[in-house]
Every structure is written in structure tokens, then in C-alpha cells.
Amino acid sequence: MATARGSKSPSPIPTTETHQDGSVSDNEWAAMQTVLQNIYAYRTEDGEDPSKLFQRKVNKRALPDYYTVIKEPMALSTIKAKISTKDYKNFSQFVWDFALVPHNAQVYNRPDSGAYIDALVIKEVLEQELAKLVKENIITEETAKLPFLGEIPTQDDIIVEDVEEDEDPDAEVEDDDEDDEAEDDDDSDEEGGRRKRKKGGRTAASIAKRESGVKADKEKDDDPESRKKRGRPPRVDTPMEARIKEILKGMRKFKNNANTLMVYHFERLPDKAAMPEYYTEIKTPMALDMIKKKLKRKKYQSVEQVMKDIETMFENAKSYNQDESQVYKDAVYLQKETRKIADEVRQKPDTDYAMEEGRLPMPDGILHNGELWKVGDWIHLQNANDLTKPIVAQIYRTWQDPDGNKWVNACWYYRPEQTVHRFDRHFYDDEVVKTGQYRDHPIDEIVDRCFVMFFTRYNKGRPRNFPADKEIYVCEARYNEEKHKLNKIKTWASCLPDEVRDKDYEMDLFDAPKKMKKNPSPIKYLFKEDTQKETDDLPKPVWGAPNAPPKIGAVHCRPRDPKESPPPEPTPTPPPAPPPPPPRQISNITSHNPNGYTGNRPSDINTAGANAHSMAAPHSSHHQPTPNAYTPSQHHANSHYQQHSASPAPLQPAPAHHHQNTFVPPLTPSSNYTAAGPTAPLGQYASPQQHAGYSQPLSNARINQPQQSQQGYNAPRPIEVWHLPDPANASIPDDVRERYQCDAQGRILLFTAPPLATSSESKGPAHTAKYLAFKIKREEMLREKRKREASDAVTPAESRKRAKSEEFREQQKKIADAEKLALSTMENALVDATIGEYKDLYGAQWKEKMDEELNLLEKKQVEAAREREEREQLEMEWKRAERKRLAIRGMNSRLEFAME
């Protein structure tokens, strides 16, 4: 809604309807008119009209979100129309509609907005008008009471969200999906982007989130698509931080006579351009937003430190403003109440500020596997979907649960192949993109350290003292998982945890900035040009394990966003090489020289390489350019010269009549042409000097080979050797690794082609693998057959031995059965003797006495077993303590053995 205020608003026109409804009396209709007219006519002390914002319904085009949040919109014009048409069946309906006007404004707008304050004024005036009607006995007290229309979000809830939940530097970006460019505008707290949005109305997403509760969140966990929703780092506050937040929350409970929150004056410092004199007079400016920022960045070490800033804030207000001003009065009162709140929170024990679920904050980090992991560290996490691509993440929280398990909350960074983007998108090598995924992981899921650099620094150097064997990534964009868009990051600090935003790292700079090149998307191959269209819906990534990034993303060809950067231009084709000198045909055929001299080809011209290449690549003439030979004219070239042939076929003789009309240039071989490597084959031409009936084999023809241009384009060599990523290579067992060729770091080398240099040693004739396998199988069958035959052919001695063994086993079995029978007989005799003795001693009560003594005996046995167990436990603990006292703990940071 607009917040402009007018000085006067027109009063409604009295109704001319004569229709009467039986349930509403004439006095009540008149009272409705009076109440409405008084609301229209009411003006504040400053002459402003608080009803102007509520006279018409909100424009749906201007605020479409309003009708998502407000389920029952209402305006004064609607009430006026209902009174005119006498639509109300009773006075309570009129009160209900009128109560909706301020209620809707309070639900949609923030408490510090003008619409919210005007709504409170309208509500107060309405209650006064209804109270007058009760005194005049027009309506009852019950009818005049405003109905309960639902909970209204309080300022306390909003501020708590600012302090406690608004710790995600990208929260404003991923919550506000109406404008993607908000991601850039709201990068940093310092730029005030977050405050801009919070001055207006609440979004539908925030209202829905407040009303849905935890139940909706649990239902989303089962939906694979819901995994892309952004989480937040959990609250892990120390008791000191919880006390500070309670003080800040308690300050927002007090209102002045104008029904305005007293703390409103101290939210932010005045504009420097509008009030430069304030900063001249006040040497230490302080406001609540500065205090909250320092709290988020862990700058306070005690309650006393934050109270010192709060006192400075109030003293500044008192020294700058006059004693009669409202700001001065509010500062005095609020200062006194804040001191009381601080005294109360100091007296509370730490147990009152224990975190939910028993989380114990570990602000100093977690010691695991000999390394300290703390907030701000870049890490690799286990990726259940692909062990070769660990999750790149940054730690945001560290804590311990009630069971003693250590946990971290980390922000994920996706690899390009895990996102959904346009098929022509390009990425840097080792690029990652920041996401809104903040996930909890056990400390055991940390694989290793890594590092992520902003793209503006990546080409200038590397972090100092960072291990050379650790991965370093580059980040340029933030990934909106709702709309599958990549937005360029403006402020890198906004992407980091609050605790490390003002910390920087040293770098070892390169001698000169390195050139960074973007490559096509690694999943561009997924694009189906013949089936995918611009009008298709956005594809979805393929999800796998619950706590892992997508298995693979997707590509599309939907129209590019106007503010999205186009893909880089392709590398221009290098300029063509200058044409070589015309080749010269040399023939070993005797030429008819008028002087009688027979010219032979010099022996220093060798074109065997060209001939060999021509023989090895019969189709290369279709793919490689052929240098042009000298021809007197195009007609002669077409008529007299034969095109190059890859086969060693003899040249066709030229017709005799062509020799009479053909001018033949003198062919002078030059020794400057030497044989080059494999180059494009040259055209072969029939010599115009040869006789009509003579043909010459191609193998004997000698062609002058032009020298290859040194300025030509040299295509890069294809990759011949590669290795797996270090995590995947480390997962290969050592016994398997030893079978293959490895590099200096112990990584298995993989080749794209078999070796060109094979062994020259002749192995002689050999059997095929199929035959050798058959031979091995046949030998195994023969061995099995021999075993069976040997077992069947039992000798007499073996038969006697087997019979004797069977007899011995039979005797042993009989002895064992006899022992069991003897024990059973003895046991029965003892039982009978015991029963007889008890009968002689106790007569008819022998059974009760025997049971009693048996129970007593059982108790003593249990007690004896317990004492024996305790004694053994004490002995074990004593031995363990002795071992610990003398045990070597291992190496310390100085590589020295440490002992206790």
C-alpha cells in the first residue's frame, strides 16, 4: 500500500434506499452511517487522514501478493456499498466487516510501516464510536466487541527472526523469488538490501511459513523435489548470546503514548546526507542494527560489552535531542527498562538458555582426526551419490548433541553438472556455484579440506600456505534452485559466515594474472536439439540419496534472461597459411632437348615421405587441402592434367594432338625443397612432354615437396594419458594398484590408445586364449577324474584302517552314552536323598523349606557373581590406568613422541 496521507477525504453520500430489513432497525442503519462518516471525517493532530489508505481495495496488479496473504479483503467503500444496499442482516456483520479493515492491514504490513500505524488509529476510533452506541443503547456491549479474526504477527517475532534466523547471507535472495535481480541488490547487509524489503508488507511465503508449522516441513522431506528447498543454519547460541538476544527482544515491548514502539527511533542511524550535523555532534554513533550485526559476527564476549553499546546509543539520543522531544523521553524510559532486563538475564542460570534438542555449541571448533574444523573452513563432504565427486561446502555451525556426537552445518556448493542451466552455458575449470542448501553432517563425513576463491581473485594467485595437494575451486555465481537460475555474485563477503566476513586470507600472487577461459557445460551432451524447444518446461535434476546433491542436472533451451550474460564467442579460426610455391613436376623420362642434352632430376630431392603418406591415407584428399600447381590456364588445367590418385595406378597417357597445342613451361627443380613430415598430398600431373604411348608407375614418379608453412595452425594434441580424481584413486586397493603403471604420486595411469611402439621380439607361434582356457579346463577335469578313481580303488590295508576307525568311533560313542547315564542316575539319587532328608527334618512342610533355601542360595550366587564382576571391572580399570600412564600417545605437531 502507498503510505501517502491526504489532508481531507470526502464523506460518503447518505443512502436514499427505503428498503428495510426486519433484523436491522432504523436506528442501527443510522448508527452504521454515523460510524462510517466519523471514520471518514477523523483527522489526527497533524491533520492527516488515517482512513485514506483503506477507502478502496488494494490494486491487484500493484500488489498481487496481497490477495494471497489476505483471504477476506475489505475496504471502507465496500462497507459503504453494503449500507447503501442494506445487505447487512444484523449489526454484528457490520462490526465484523469494519474490524477486517485494520486487521488485514496489521497482518500484511510491518508494524513500523505507515499503513500499520494508520490501521491502529482506525481501530481505536472504531472502538470509541461503538462505545458511544452502547451508551446510547443502540447496540449491546457484546455486539460492540470486536471479533477475533486471527493472530497478528508481532514486532517481537520479526526482530527475533532478524537476529536469530536471518543469518543466511542469501536468505533475502532465495525467499524473494519475484525478482531475481534482488540477489545482486541484497548481497550484503552493509548495502541495506535486507532492510529495504522488510519495510514493506510481508510476503505470502513468510505468512504461509508461519502458519504451516513444523508438520508441513516434515511432509516435504519425503518429496524428492523438496530437497532443493533452502534450509537455514540451525540456531546454536551460547548462553551469553541467548542473554543478549533476550535483552534485544525485551526492548521491543514498550510503547509510548502514541502507541508507537519506543525502540523504533533507535533501529538505524539517521541518513548522513540528510542530517550531516548529527555526525558532527555525535562522535560515536550507535544503533540497534549495528549491535545486531556485531552480535551475528561474534564480536561480543559478554553481556557488559553489548550493554555498553546500548548505553552509548541512548546517551547519543539524549545529548542530541531536546528534553521535550518524544525521542528523548523514549530514550530515558527505555534505558531504564533495558537496565532492568539486563539485570534479570544476568541472574538466570545457563541452564535456562540451553538450546533445543540439547545442542551444545562448540564455537572454538571440533577436533577430529588430529585437525581442528571450525566455522568458515572449506571442506569436502562424502557424496553418497558419487564418491568421486565429494560435496564442496563451507562450515557454518559446529555443535555436539546430547549423545556426544559432533556435528557441522555446512553450505553446499554445486558443481556445474549438478545444476539446471541453458545448454550453451559456459563454466570455468573447477567452478562451483553457491546454493541455499544448509545441511547438517556428522563430523565423520568430512573427507578433506579444500578452498573456494571468488573469481576476481582466482586468476591472481593462490592462498598462502595452503597445501598444494588440496583442491581449489572458483566461484562466480549463486544458484537459485527454485527457478534454476545462476546469478552473478557482487559481494563475496555476503556469501560467507558472519564470523569470518571481515577476515581475509593472504595470497601468493602469480607473476602476472592468468587468463581464465570458460568451457562449454559438462552436460551439454544431454541437450536434444531435435526434441527440446524453447517453450518446454524446465527440466528437473535427478536426485539420489537424501542428504546429497543431485546425481546429475539438466540442460534446456528456454529463452535467456535479459540480464543473463551470453555465452563467450567461439575462438576465431586462425588465418590461413600463405599458399606455398607452385609444385614442379619432375620426370625421370628423357626429355627431347633441342640441344641434345638429357636433363635428369637431381638426386638431392626426396619426396618419399609424401608418397608414403599418400599410400597410408588413401582418403586424405577429401579432408585436407591440396596445394595448387602451376597451370598455364584453367582450360589447360582441366584438359591436360590428371587429378591426384591415392592408388599407385599408372598415369594415363595424354592424347597426341594435345602436345601440339600445349605450352610447357620449363621445369627447373630447386634444391630448397626438402621433405617434411606427413603433410597434405600433392596433385599428380601427367607430363605434357611424354609420348602418347608411354605410361609411368606412380611409385617411380618423383614429386617436388613444398616446405610446410611455419605460420599454419597447429591443432592441440589429443589427450593420451589421464588419471582418476584423487578420492577415486585412493579407493583402489594397493594390490590392484601394483598391477598397473602409476605416476610419481602413485595414481594409476589410463591410456586412450594402445602403445604405438610394440615389442620387436618375435614370440613365435602361440595358442589362442580360447584354446588355453579350454586346455586349463580339460586339465582340471582330468585331475578330478583321477581323484575319483583313486578314491574308488581302495587297498585292503586302507579298508582295515577304515574299519578300525569306525570301530573306535563306535566305542567312543558308547562310552559317552554310559557317562551320561551314570551322571543322570547319580543326579536322580541325590535328588531323592535330598528330598528324603528334608521330609525327615520338616515333615509336611519340607517342600516350602526346600524352596526357601533354594531361593536363598540363588540370591547368594547372584550376589557372588556381581561381586566377582565388580572385582574384575576394578582390576581392568586399574590395568587400563597403568597402561595410559605409560602409553605413548603418538606424534605431536613437532613430530615428537608425546607421553603422559
* Band of residue 329 on the pLDDT scale cut at 50, 70, 90: very high
Q: Residue 867: pLDDT above 60?
A: yes
Are the C-beta atoms of residues 291 and 309 closer than 8 Å to each other?
Answer: yes
Looking at residue 18, what is its pLDDT?
40
* Band of residue 734 on the pLDDT scale cut at 50, 70, 90: confident
Q: Residue 397: pLDDT above 70?
A: yes
Looking at residue 349, what is its pLDDT?
86
Higher pLDDT, 33 or 222: 33
Reading the block at residue 821, the C-alpha cell is 547315564
The whole-number average pLDDT for the span 193-218 is 45
Looking at residue 320, what is its pLDDT?
92
Start-end of H helices in 527-662: 608-616, 634-640, 656-661
Answer whether CATH 2.40.37.20 is correct for domain 363-556: no
Looking at residue 2, what is its pLDDT?
40
Looking at residue 723, what is its pLDDT?
84
* Band of residue 761 on the pLDDT scale cut at 50, 70, 90: low
Higher pLDDT, 242 or 699: 242
In angstroms, rounded to a whole number, what is the distance separating the alpha carbons of residues 369 and 446? 10
What's the pLDDT tens digit per position in 83-120?
988 889 899 999 999 999 999 998 888 887 888 888 99
CATH number of 26-152: 1.20.920.10
Q: Is 5 exposed, middle or buried (0-12, 13-18, 19+ CB in 10 A)?
A: middle
In angstroms, rounded to a whole number, what is the distance separating the alpha carbons of residues 809 and 811? 5
Per residue in 673-685, is it b (16+ CB within 10 Å) or e — as a string?
beeeeebbbbbbb
* Band of residue 790 on the pLDDT scale cut at 50, 70, 90: confident
* Delimiting residues of CATH 2.30.30.490 domain(s) in the chain: 363-556
Are the C-beta atoms of residues 184 and 486 closer than 8 Å to each other?
Answer: no
Q: Residue 705: pLDDT above 50?
A: no
Residues ≥6 apart with Cβ < 8 Å to 118: 5, 50, 51, 53, 54, 105
* Delimiting residues of CATH 1.20.920.10 domain(s) in the chain: 26-152, 239-354
What's the pLDDT tens digit per position in 157-167?
444 444 444 43
How would CATH label the architecture of 239-354?
Up-down Bundle (1.20)
pTM value is: 0.46
Count of all residues that appear for the chain in the document: 900
* Band of residue 9 on the pLDDT scale cut at 50, 70, 90: very low
Looking at residue 821, what is its pLDDT?
93
What's the pLDDT tens digit per position in 465-506?
999 999 999 999 999 988 899 999 999 998 999 889 888 999
Q: Residue 577: pLDDT above 90?
A: no
